[in-house]
């Protein structure tokens, strides 16, 4: 599943492969807990978290991996050392298997995102 036509995040989670659902449900719970005041929406076929109408964080179940999108350049730069050992795209942190997700790192990225507004790439 690259892009979903689900209308909400619950519908999205119902569509993902069963072996990925617990990890993606945990990602959603982390986002909801660590991003107070952010809106949860479906954008570009994936769950996204908005502050003042701008998406700052998202996640998706891709064909080959689970991706976590850190859309704030300042947050990615602040975590450059911790992110260095991970499979990264421009703003995408990729995990090939659900058991490889570094939830502690994701929580810290979420906390940094929530701390203050910043420039979205």
Report the CATH number that the domain containing residue 20 is assigned in CATH.
3.90.1150.200
Tell me whether residue 4 is in a domain: no
Tell me whether residue 53 is in a domain: yes
Indicate the average pLDDT of the chain.
Answer: 93
pTM of the model as a whole: 0.93
| pLDDT in the model for residue 2 | 57
pLDDT at residue 11 greater than cutoff 90: yes
| pLDDT in the model for residue 95 | 96
* Integer angstrom CA distances of residue 31 from 56, 63, 84, 85: 11, 22, 22, 23
Helices 103-115, 21-34: axis angle to 10 degrees equals 30
Tell me whether residue 110 is in a domain: yes
Q: Check: CB of residue 15 under 8 Å from CB of residue 6.
A: yes
Tell me whether residue 84 is in a domain: yes
Range of the domain at 106: 9-115
Tell me whether residue 120 is in a domain: no
Residue reference for tokens 């502050």: 51
Contact partners, residue 91, CB within 8 Å, separation at least 6? 69, 70, 71, 76, 121
Count of domains observed in the chain: 1
């Amino acid at each position: 599943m690259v892009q979903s036509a689900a209308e909400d995040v619950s519908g999205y989670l119902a569509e993902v492969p069963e072996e990925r659902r617990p990890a993606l449900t945990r990602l959603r719970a982390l986002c909801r807990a660590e991003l107070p005041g952010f809106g949860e929406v479906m954008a570009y076929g994936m769950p996204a978290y908005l502050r003042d109408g701008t998406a700052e964080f998202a996640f998706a179940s891709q064909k080959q991996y689970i991706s976590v999108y850190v859309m704030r350049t300042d947050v990615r730069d602040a975590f450059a050392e911790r992110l260095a050992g991970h499979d990264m795209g421009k703003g995408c942190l990729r995990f090939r298997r659900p058991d490889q997700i570094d939830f502690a790192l994701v929580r810290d990225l979420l906390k940094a995102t929530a701390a203050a507004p910043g420039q979205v790439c």
